[in-house]
Structure formats: structure tokens, C-alpha cells
Chain A
Amino acid sequence: MKTTFKTFFAVLATTFLLASCNDDDAAQMFNNPTGTGDLQVKFDNAYAGNDLILGAPNTVNSQGETLKVNQIKYIVSNIVLFDENGGTFTYPKSESYFIVNEANPASTFIDLTSIPAGNYTKIKFGIGVDQAQWEAGADGQGDFLAHADAQDMMWSWSAGYKFILFEGQFTSATVSSDTAYMVHTGKTGTAYNYTEVTLDLPTKAFVRTEITPSVHIVTDLSKIIDGTNKIALSDHNMGGMGAMIMGGEAVAQISANVPGLFTVDHVHND
């Protein structure tokens, strides 16, 4: 009996020591990151706290309007990651243009590769295509031009890219039956309207060869027209033909709302 017990505790103690060593190795590797890893950015479209369901009526906004969203697409570009030591990593520009399209779930996950291992605390990205890139001319766009064209995210080369395409139906106090709305943002005659968004991560993203963090961003679509600037679709419903917002002051106001659309809900380090 006594022997059995001694053996038992010896085994226990040994196992414990071994386990401790393993932990130390893992911690050592974790604390001295080398090489590169991947990172995923997930854009999860929402509407005022609810998960977006295409075609379903959303909650009433501050203008007394109820929207059904049928299509939402936006261009995400020029991703930059900031690490805890103040360093930055700019994702290669030629690979840093993406179209997030709610109708295509795969497109809401942006997989970034070959990122230096590190502890990242902040992310910056653009909504739309920056002016410098557009000025590089049609030949300078690489494959992205054809992709944007196929996704209906171009007006024409000279008119430029659509940065956000937000379409559906709405009703309001004065518009009782479902009426179409189309909000397209992008370059207008007076402004380029490319918008940068910088977000703090609630917890660090640990990029390692063996850890691929996932940064879960929530995009609150209600704030496109009901953010800092408030735009009533009813005011743009000329002759009851539907609210079409594709230029003018409203696009500038919506572009100013863009940074407020995005929050990082959480980061997974798995």
C-alpha cells in the first residue's frame, strides 16, 4: 500500500514536471516571435445592433425610416497593422484591395498572409480606392479593375469606383409603401471621398507562425445614413421614384459617417 502510494505520487510529480517544461517551451516560443504568420479580418455586417439579414426589415432609424437592405458591398483597401511597440506593417499595396459583399459570405473574410510575427494593437484601412491608386490609371489597377467591374463597383473608368453600394427599400411616415433606395458613394465632382478608418483592437492580435488571429469587425450599416450626419431617404425620393443618392452633398456627408460604421467586437487568437 505504502509503496503503491509512493509510486503514485512519484508518477504525479514527474508528470507535473514534464508538463511544466512543455508550458515553458510554449511560452518561450510565444514570447520570442519569429517569422511570419497570417491574420484574418472579418467584416460582419449589422444594423443597429442586430445581425444583418438581407431583405428583412430593420429597426426604425432616427429619421423614422425603416430600411430593408437588399445589397451591401464596399471596397476595403490599404490595410495597415500597428504593433504594441509603435511599429507598423503596411500590407503590400498591390494586394490590398478587397470587395466585401454580404451576398457572398466568403468575401466578408479577408485573409492576410506573410505578416511579421508580432503583437498588434490597432488596424487601419480605407473604404474605397485612394486617389493615388486611381491616378495610376487603368493599367495600374491590376486585376482589381476587372473584379470591381464584375461586382458592379465601377461607374465607368472616368467616373471611378463605387466605394459603398447600399441598396434596398424603405418606408417612412410619408412613404408608406416599399420604395427603392440606392446609395452609391465614391468620387464626386468636388471631392474624392476616400475614407480612412483606424480602430483599436480590444485585445491584442498575436500573429505567430502557429497562431492566426481573427479580427472581428462589426459594420453598422444603419450609420451610413444615420450616423453623425443624418440623411432622410424621404428627402431624396424625387417624384416618388425612389431615393437615389449617388452624388452631391449627401455623398460627402455619408463619407464623413464612414469611420463611425466600424468597431472591432473582439479578436480571436486561435
Chain B
Amino acid sequence: MALCAQAAVAITVKDSLRPFPYSGHEPARYLSKYHALLDDCDACGCSSNGGSMGFSSMFNNEFVGLRYFYQRYSSKDGIFNNSPWVDENFNTVQAWARIPIVRRLQVSALVPYHFHVRERATGDQRIEGLGDITVLAMFTAYETMRDSTVLTHKLQAGGGLKMPTGKYNMANNVGSVNPGFQVGTGSWDYLLATEYVLKKGRLGLNTMATYTIKTQNEKLYRFGNQFNYGATLFYLIEQKVKWVPQLGIAGEVFASNFQYDQIVPDSSSDIVFGKVGLEVGRNDFSLGLNAMLPINQHLNGGKVESNYRLSVNLNYSL
């Protein structure tokens, strides 16, 4: 969710690119580019942007790329103890980019395309389409200068906008307990984001938090505000290719949804994932792999369960 920021828009600004100042000595140079902010998109698929997957761009601070991610859920298809659990497969292909505008200011954009399937006993239920495009501007509030070598910090904060480019269809939720089975929230949503990166030598820690304020859509439905947080440890191994293994946690908290200003029962959720990842970089390309497993979850009154998430991405440095 959070930074499900995106790219299409940003492509037009390419000609204004300017190299971002490096922040450290050589190993740190790469590490400094590690960025987890775009991590997390929606758990619960809710606004369906993503999935706390980790925006792993440790090799390229300015890049364009493609990411595929898969989220597997089970949801109860009915209200009874003996109601069947059905599998839900959320697939997203996302174009993304992170582009410097001026010194200390970067803009990220995320353009997701979703294809989701619920495997009901009566047949598959499918939805597909462009998701909500997100644009996020991040300002570097503090950054250790390159020659303060022992411990370096970087603090960024910013805000963004998620646009209702994905179609919200009320009918998708009929007979379903997973309100996240949508390709978009249908609303203009606002993001606040902050990220802090601490590094020492080849080892780094990235912590991030985002808060998404969601507004009522045209169908007078409002998805609950969303808080995402995460912490990821990463380590740089520099050989002919660069390897960056990662280990961390990511969490998502969703407030209740409202329909016609009335609370939707069982619509609040929270979940914490453990995640492992690896990014491999060579020349201008980097390949990222990520897996997330839930550690603790309370989704939609226990009627929805997240099983796991996987993602793979290919980025190209600008």
C-alpha cells in the first residue's frame, strides 16, 4: 500500500533526472540505496496495491522496474461453522519507478494491474483490471555525509496520493467476506510516509512506516485507514555480482470500513509477517525475490486468512 507509488506518471520527468548524491563510502553507496518504503501494499488485498513485499532497490536508487507479486488467502465462503473455506489468489503486476526531481526530493510511482481469483465451489470468481495508481514524494530530511564512515543515517519523510484508477465494484463483495476482493478502493487516498535507514559497513537496517488516509468513494463506501510498518536487516556481499540478503518483519493494521457512514462489521484487520528476500545486482539490472509468511493475524473477524506472499522484480537503474 503504502508506497505503492508508481511510475507511469514519473516517466515524463526523466529528462530532469539528476544524480542523487551518494551517501557513503563504496559499500555504503549501494546500501544507501536500499529502500523499503514501497513495501507494503495492502494486506487483505484491500485496496489491492500490493503486499508489504519490500521495495528492494538497494542497487539503484533511481530506477524503473516491473514487479509481480502473488498473495494467497483463504476466506470463509459463508457464515456457518461448516461453511467452506475458499482459496483466493491475488496476482499483481506492477510497473514502478523512483525518480529524483531535485536534490533531496524523489518521486515514486506505482501502476498496478491486478488479476484476482476466488475459487468457489460454484466456479471461479475473477476480477481483473488496472489498480489504483499511487504517486509518492519523499523528502530527505537528514542524511549522513559520505565521510562520516562508521555509522550512517538517512531519514526520509513524505506524502502521496493514491488515485481511483482501479474500478471499485460493490458487486464483488456480494457473498464474500473479504472486502479486499477489489482492484481498487474507488477513492482518493492520501499517504504519509517515513523511512529511516541505519548502516554500518555492509550491514544495514531499514525501518519504515506509512499511514494511508482513505476517503469515501462514489458508492459511499470508505475503506479503513491503514498503517503499515516494517523493519528489514540487510547485508551487502560484493563479488562479481552484488548480493543483498534481507530478513525482516512487516505489519499492516486496517481500521474498519464504512458503508453509508455505517461501520461494516468484521472489517478491521491486523497482520504481521516475517519476510526474507534476496536482491542480486549486476551492471544496471537487479533482480529481487521476496517471500512473506504471516506470524500473527486477525483478518476480518477471523474469516480471512493470509497464507503467504511472494514477489519477484526486475529493476533497471536510470
The answer to whether A270 and B82 touch (CB under 8 A), given A19-B218, A27-B220, is no
A206 / chain B contacts, CB cutoff of 8 Å: 260
Cβ of B265 within 8 Å of any chain A Cβ, yes or no, is yes
Q: Is the CB of A269 within 8 A of B260?
A: yes
A268 / chain B contacts, CB cutoff of 8 Å: 174
Q: Is the CB of B15 within 8 A of A12?
A: no
Q: Is the CB of A203 within 8 A of B263?
A: yes
Q: Is the CB of B265 within 8 A of A202?
A: yes
CA distance A120 to B13 in the complex (A): 53
- Interface size band for B: 20 to 34
B216 / chain A contacts, CB cutoff of 8 Å: 23, 27
The answer to whether A270 and B164 touch (CB under 8 A), given A8-B9, A49-B81, is no
Give A125 Cβ to nearest chain B Cβ, in Å: 20
CA distance A30 to B216 in the complex (A): 13
Q: Is the CB of A44 within 8 A of B174?
A: no
Q: Is the CB of B218 within 8 A of A51?
A: no
Give A33 Cβ to nearest chain B Cβ, in Å: 11
Q: Is the CB of A204 within 8 A of B265?
A: no
Q: Is the CB of A203 within 8 A of B80?
A: no
B259 / chain A contacts, CB cutoff of 8 Å: 269
A27 / chain B contacts, CB cutoff of 8 Å: 216, 220
Q: Is the CB of A51 within 8 A of B78?
A: yes
Cβ of B262 within 8 Å of any chain A Cβ, yes or no, is yes
Q: Is the CB of B79 within 8 A of A1?
A: no
Give B12 Cβ to nearest chain A Cβ, in Å: 5
Closest B-chain residue to A268, C-beta based? B174
Closest A-chain residue to B79, C-beta based? A265
Dominant secondary structure at the B interface: loop
The answer to whether A22 and B218 touch (CB under 8 A), given A51-B78, A206-B260, A265-B79, is yes
For B11-32 the 0/1 string (1 means CB < 8 A from A) is 0110110000000000000000
Closest A-chain residue to B217, C-beta based? A23
CA distance A265 to B217 in the complex (A): 26
CA distance A16 to B163 in the complex (A): 9
The answer to whether A44 and B220 touch (CB under 8 A), given A5-B13, A268-B174, is no
Q: Is the CB of A26 within 8 A of B79?
A: no
Give A9 Cβ to nearest chain B Cβ, in Å: 10
Max chain A Cβ within 10 angstroms of own Cβ: one of B78, B79, B164, B217: B79
For B83-127 the 0/1 string (1 means CB < 8 A from A) is 100000000000000000000000000000000000000000000
List 10 extra interface pairs beyond A12-B163, A26-B219, CB under 8 A.
A1-B15, A22-B218, A23-B218, A30-B260, A50-B82, A203-B263, A204-B262, A265-B79, A266-B79, A270-B173
List the 5 closest A-B pairs by CB distance, nearest first: A51-B80, A50-B82, A49-B81, A1-B16, A4-B12
On A, residues with C-beta under 8 Å from B are 1, 4-5, 8, 12, 15-16, 19, 22-23, 26-27, 30, 44, 46, 49-51, 202-204, 206, 216, 218, 265-266, 268-270
